[in-house]
Amino acid sequence: MSGPIAEAKQFLRDLFDAAVAAADPARCLPPFLPAPPRGKMVVVGAGKAAAAMARAVEKHWQGALGGLVVTRYGHGVACDQIEIVEAAHPVPDDAGLTAASRILELAQGLGADDLLLCLISGGGSSLLTLPAAGISLADKQAVNQALLRSGAAIGEMNCVRKHLSAIKGGRLAAAAAPAQVVTLLISDVPGDDPAVIASGPTVGDPTSFADAREILRRYDITPPETVRAHLAAAAVESPKIGDPRLVDCVTHLIAAPQASLIAAAQAAEAVGMQALILGDAIEGEAREVGLVHAGIAQACARHGHPAAPPLVLLSGGETTVTVRGKGRGGRNGEFALGLALALDGNERIFALAADTDGIDGSEDNAGVLVTPDTLARARRAGVDPMASLAGNDAYSLFAAVDDLVVTGPTLTNVNDFRAVLIL
């Protein structure tokens, strides 16, 4: 296949690859490695990218090191000196609990000349689960579920989590004192706040036990008795910003959605294509976000606003899918199908939507491509696009027209990536 459609698809794929490459630990981590300490170098970490980050550390580190990181099942890579543990995500299992406990012990064993290098990425919150003494995992999860149902904001949920944990909310860094602590972060959250990513195990906590109790009251949540007693006792407060135990802590954001969008924009501009970044934290119901992107793209084509074609619109962030049907596909497929239906065959517009972690939902594809004839080709293949969307079955449609983007797990995660090309 060749010609302008193939060229447009290849261009979009190149942009996606540039976005993922910018977040690849092998590339973005080495510049942030600290100087070797006089004492021991211990590496810990958690997240979907933790093993890939550990490997990048090993490859570029001069001297001895050891440690342990926990990543999701299937996200491990071979390391020589750092132990890689795989555990369950998003619901924690015993493997994760044991790993978190061992990570805390590693930190507690350090002295003033030692260095704790902490590798944190998306998914780290559930992979690094360690309930505070006296609280069972089941009780902690019951509170978590109640918070999720309550409509509490993410900041409020994190406050409660940090006060039910033995390792989050700066507790890991406090345990490592007086050692130096360097945290390398890959962000997949809006705002890239280090205190939010994986509930900030090495970052001073702006919240308190009193806040946590107030949040449960606000949302009328009656916690299990062990949790109530723990919050009431307020025995070991999380370390605050300015806590002397956190003096020797630094945090570097080594990859983030915006940085990957900028890398994609630069890749576009390198071949003479203008790029407009709409935002790195665009959220909402996937098909509706697709509609809005279509509206903006059509305004470019028709009026030259917000920018005149040819250009590519870029956006990141995590959409959601309200599942109503029994079909296959993730949020990027659903975004793309909503977009394609709204564009209705516009001959000047192409798109790619994919998850930078390489897996859109639970299928084998990272995402999908949209061309002007996507709907027409789907219908010729016997697929009704409206019915596909109604049935949450975008994967099947894009598979039928052979426009899946397949990468396999990328071992990093800066959330979703979308590119809409207007010629």
Does 325 bind a second copy (CB under 8 A)? Our answer is no
Among 3-11, 111-119, 175-183, 297-305, the segment contacting a second copy (CB under 8 A):
297-305
59, 60, 302, 380: residue in contact with a second copy (rule CB under 8 A): 302
* Cα gap 202→181, rounded to integer Å: 8
What radius of gyration, in Å, describes the C-alpha atoms of the chain? Answer: 23
Nearer to a second copy, 115 or 296 (CB): 296
Among 107-115, 181-189, 283-291, 364-372, the segment contacting a second copy (CB under 8 A):
283-291
Which SS3 state, helix, strand or coil, does residue 98 take?
Answer: helix
CB-based burial, 318-356: b 16+ in 10 Å, e otherwise: bbebeeeeebbbbbbbbbbbbbbbbbeebebbbbbbbbb
Does 36 bind a second copy (CB under 8 A)? Our answer is no
Does 278 bind a second copy (CB under 8 A)? Our answer is yes
* Cα gap 97→405, rounded to integer Å: 35
Does 305 bind a second copy (CB under 8 A)? Our answer is yes
Contacts of 109 (CB under 8 A, 6+ apart): none
Contacts of 59 (CB under 8 A, 6+ apart): 26, 30
Least CB distance from residue 281 to a second copy, whole Å? Answer: 5
26, 196, 292, 423: residue in contact with a second copy (rule CB under 8 A): 292
Nearer to a second copy, 134 or 295 (CB): 295
Does 273 bind a second copy (CB under 8 A)? Our answer is no
Peptide bond into 178 cis (omega under 30): yes
Total count of residues recorded for the chain: 423
39, 206, 279, 409: residue in contact with a second copy (rule CB under 8 A): 279
119, 184, 289, 394: residue in contact with a second copy (rule CB under 8 A): 289
Which SS3 state, helix, strand or coil, does residue 86 take?
Answer: strand
Q: Where in 47-108 does DSSP place strands (E)?
A: 66-72, 82-87
Among 119-127, 141-149, 292-300, 358-366, the segment contacting a second copy (CB under 8 A):
292-300
Least CB distance from residue 161 to a second copy, whole Å? Answer: 19
Nearer to a second copy, 5 or 277 (CB): 277
21, 77, 276, 423: residue in contact with a second copy (rule CB under 8 A): 276
* Cα gap 356→379, rounded to integer Å: 29
Does 310 bind a second copy (CB under 8 A)? Our answer is no
Q: How far is CA 387 from CA 270, 293, 341, in A?
A: 40, 21, 11
Under 8 Å between Cβ of 418 and 351: yes
Least CB distance from residue 308 to a second copy, whole Å? Answer: 12
Report the interhelical angle of 209-218 vs 154-162 (nearest 10°). Answer: 130
Instruction: Compose the 122-161 pattern: x for residues touching a second copy by CB under 8 A, - for all others.
Output: -----------------------------x-x--------
Which SS3 state, helix, strand or coil, does residue 266 take?
Answer: helix
Contacts of 215 (CB under 8 A, 6+ apart): 147, 152, 156, 159, 160
| Tokens 């789907």 found at | 378
193, 211, 243, 288: residue in contact with a second copy (rule CB under 8 A): 288
Instruction: Compose the 231-270 pattern: x for residues touching a second copy by CB under 8 A, - for all others.
Output: ---------------------------x--x---------
Among 140-148, 243-251, 278-286, 326-334, the segment contacting a second copy (CB under 8 A):
278-286
The residue count for binding a second copy (CB under 8 A) is 33
Residues engaged in binding a second copy (CB under 8 A):
151, 153, 190-191, 258, 261, 276-285, 288-289, 291-292, 295-296, 298-299, 302-303, 305-306, 315, 317, 342, 344, 386
